[in-house]
Structure 1
Amino acid sequence: MPISAQTTLGIKDPVPKDVAPWNNNPSLLDYLDSMQTLERKVNAPFMMPIAAKYRDMGTMIEGKIESGVIKKGVTYLMMPNREKTDIAALYGETEDEVAAATCGDQVRIRIKGVEEEDILPGFVLCSPKRPVHCVSAFEAQIVLLPDLKSILSAGFNCVMHVHSATEEVTFSALLHKLEKGTGRKSKKAPGFATKGMSIIARLEVTGGAGSVCVERFEDYPQLGRFTLRDQGQTIGIGKITKLITDSPAA
């Protein structure tokens, strides 16, 4: 989509054919207006990964609400420690307090019941009626990127980034290779995988507490998609397809 900010070509009106005869795209604003709105999980149980924490007249946390609604004065659950957490004050993108916030909102929350030093990266504030899963192993569909420098096989270690969590993981088993184009699973488990391949694998959390708060991608996309990094490079992107084990509450 050709765009010129200096001449404003392609922003409000499509680029004229005499300027770019090969272009059949609409203008930028027309394209943005035609985009479908995201499907927000407003009616789903509340979940919010904690992106930041600090002290300001109490314990403050920040994050983006990934599902459901949060209300001031209601008690929620801090996972994975299962600490009951009361909402003392709720702020949106301004300094003014709000009574409630919904899926998609970026919020700041003053909480009671949990101290700032007890909150670690990867913690999730959620509804006590449906706590986020805390697992030590899961299956995932993974695309291996060109930056993968070696052959990947069972026992391969790397670092996983999922929502606000960073955990060391190990490939415990390669389950299937996916055919390009069709996505069909191989009947036989591959012995190894290389860059450019799509696979289904079982991963185990080996760092930190040995578990991580996640969900299946099809249930909660933001809590089920992740990246894998090794030696300073992003080597894979994936989505969680199956939760294997639930870890006991801390």
Structure 2
Amino acid sequence: MAMENFFNGQKEYDNDDNDNVLNRSNSSTFSKNDKNQNKNKELHNIIENLHYENKIINDFVKDLHDENKNLVSGIKDLQCGNKNLFSFIKDLNDEKKKLNDKIDKLKDNIDELEKKSSNRVLKEVFAYLLIPCIEQIKNGFDQMNKEKKGISQQYYEFRKYYNTCTLKMIKYKNKIINNEPLTLISEIIEKFSNEAKLSTDELIELLLEENKRNYNTHDFIEDYIDDFIYGECTENDLIQYIEDKSDVNIIITNNEKDLLIKLMRFNIAHRQKLIPIQSTVINYFDDSQIFNYYIDDSPFRMPIIKQYKDMDTIVMGKIEYGSCHIGDQCLIMPNRKLVKIMNIYYDNGIETDSCICGKNVRLKLKNVEEQDISSGFILCHVHQEPCSVGRIFEAQINILEHKSNIYPGYSTVLHIHTAVAKIQLKKLIRLIDVEKNKTTQENPTFITQNQVAIAIFELSQDKQVICMELFNRFPRLGQFTLQDDGRTFAVGKVLKIIN
């Protein structure tokens, strides 16, 4: 029993020990499990974190792929843009080249226009400076016809013989022997070229172009000559003077300039010879009547200097009396042609609606052709008193200089306003003393230098009439000069229009 108890006790002890061991063992196992669980948990957390980080990396890589794809697409777009840019730059360069070509062409056109404008002005200047030569030829024909009148009925018409064909024949010395008119023209050209210090060929070349020109430079060339004579300008100022007055850049060769200066010198010398005669003319007439362009209600009067075609017919002249307006109905005397003023231009090209006396103008006219008008015609207003016309007139004349006595039957050339006509002295009525205002001799046989007479004149051409006015009513249209061989030898004024 005791043994049994011992064994039982031992058994219990052993059981207790076993239980303790088991408990210890279980405790140890549980402890290990806990650690393993913790490690697993940690490992799981690490794995989860790795998965999360891998997901982030994958997302980042995906984003990188997307960005790379966008970058590749952007590079392609940029390459395409560069290609378009290069194409645009090429197109731009092509357009620039075309634009430069157009600019160069425009510059060439401007240069050509400047050259044409310069040539036009120079031709007009040359044309005006050649007037004395042509006047000498005209006067030569008048003298030749006057000398032949008592010998034969032959009459040489200036316009028939003075032409381009004649000038070329003279230049090449063809068929001028035994041809009196051509010989006369040749001799005058040779004389003029010697006086102007030009070669005959140079002068003929200038005359050959003369028919193509207009005399628009009349006023400023006259002004230059006056300024030169009175010391206000020099030869070196000539080209600049022309440029300033014409608003054109003058392009001129040295040879052209040399010809121009030589002709200008001749014209200045010619003007200086006329100064004493012009002074006598001014002193002979009452300055207040001739040179004062005061505004009044006088009828419109504009002597025509020149006419030409520019769509409509253009007439040039100076308004001596009255005024005109656009739309005015006018008469061209002496042929009484009814016209209408469409445009009015001052000599500097400025357009205006109206113009008063004393102004040089160009008028564009409707209902008339260029060939219906001649220098010396006068434009009048249709609703005012028209200009007087006549072929036989009584005048007071003052002989300034003449080598011989002048008898009835004497033929000469009349210059009255812008008209030029051949006239004949028909009768000497009396000689007068102007200062004492009394008659010194009735019905004189002749008149000579420094004498004043009342005389009757008649136009030489049959049935011809010209515009003229009585001096006491329209002084600027009633004063005149008489010329012989191109020189003024007498001045006068119209007292009465007989027929």
TM-score range, shorter chain: 0.7 to 0.9
Q: Secondary structure at the match of 1:222?
A: helix
Show the counterpart of 1:46: 300
2:443 equivalent among 189, 192, 195:
189
2:338 equivalent among 80, 84, 88:
84
Show the counterpart of 1:69: 323
Alpha-carbon distance in structure 1 between the residues aligned to 2:435 and 2:322: 36
Cα 1:181/1:42, change in 2 over 3 Å: closer
1:156 equivalent among 410, 429, 453:
410
Which amino acid counterpart does residue 68 of structure 1 have in structure 2?
A: G
Alpha-carbon distance in structure 2 between the residues aligned to 1:112 and 1:127: 14
Give percent identity, aligned residues only: 35
The number of equivalent residue pairs is: 214
- 1:221 paired with 2:475, answer yes
Show the counterpart of 1:142: 397
Cα offsets for 1:182-231 (capped at 9, x unmatched): 13123521111111111110111113752110001111111101110112
Q: Is 2:328–2:381's contact at 8 Å kept on the other side of the alignment?
A: no
Cα 1:180/1:82, change in 2 over 3 Å: closer
Which amino acid counterpart does residue 145 of structure 1 have in structure 2?
A: L
Cα 1:239/1:108, change in 2 over 3 Å: same
Q: Which runs of 4+ in 1 moved over 6 A?
A: 3-6
- 1:243 paired with 2:243, answer no
* Structure 1 runs not aligned, ≥5 long: 7-34, 246-250
CA RMSD of aligned residues (A): 2.2
Q: Is 1:42–1:69's contact at 8 Å kept on the other side of the alignment?
A: no
Q: Is 1:41–1:66's contact at 8 Å kept on the other side of the alignment?
A: no
TM-score (norm 2): 0.41
Cα 1:175/1:208, change in 2 over 3 Å: same
Show the counterpart of 2:48: none
Show the counterpart of 2:386: 131
Q: Give the structure with higher Rg (CA).
A: 2
Cα offsets for 1:42-98 (capped at 9, x unmatched): 311101000111112211011100111101011100011101010111112332321
Alpha-carbon distance in structure 1 between the residues aligned to 2:421 and 2:471: 18
Q: Structure 1 residue 179: deviation in Å?
A: 2.1
TM-score (norm 1): 0.80
Alpha-carbon distance in structure 2 between the residues aligned to 1:50 and 1:223: 12
* Structure 2 runs not aligned, ≥5 long: 1-229, 234-286
Q: Structure 1 residue 41: deviation in Å?
A: 5.0
Cα 1:5/1:135, change in 2 over 3 Å: closer
Alpha-carbon distance in structure 2 between the residues aligned to 1:124 and 1:233: 25
Between stretches 71-80 and 231-240, larger displacement belongs to 231-240
Q: Which has the higher helix share?
A: 2
Cα 1:177/1:120, change in 2 over 3 Å: same
Alpha-carbon distance in structure 2 between the residues aligned to 1:208 and 1:92: 37
Alpha-carbon distance in structure 2 between the residues aligned to 1:38 and 1:45: 16
Show the counterpart of 1:29: none
Alpha-carbon distance in structure 2 between the residues aligned to 1:4 and 1:154: 44
Alpha-carbon distance in structure 1 between the residues aligned to 2:480 and 2:408: 19
Alpha-carbon distance in structure 2 between the residues aligned to 1:53 and 1:38: 27
Cα 1:122/1:209, change in 2 over 3 Å: farther
- 1:105 paired with 2:395, answer no
Show the counterpart of 2:4: none
Which amino acid counterpart does residue 420 of structure 2 have in structure 1?
A: T
Alpha-carbon distance in structure 2 between the residues aligned to 1:38 and 1:175: 32
2:424 equivalent among 163, 170, 174:
170
Alpha-carbon distance in structure 1 between the residues aligned to 2:439 and 2:460: 27
Q: Which has the higher strand share?
A: 1
- 1:210 paired with 2:464, answer yes
Which amino acid counterpart does residue 445 of structure 2 have in structure 1?
A: G
Cα offsets for 1:160-179 (capped at 9, x unmatched): 00111110111110011012
Q: Is 2:300–2:381's contact at 8 Å kept on the other side of the alignment?
A: yes
Between stretches 43-52 and 124-133, larger displacement belongs to 124-133
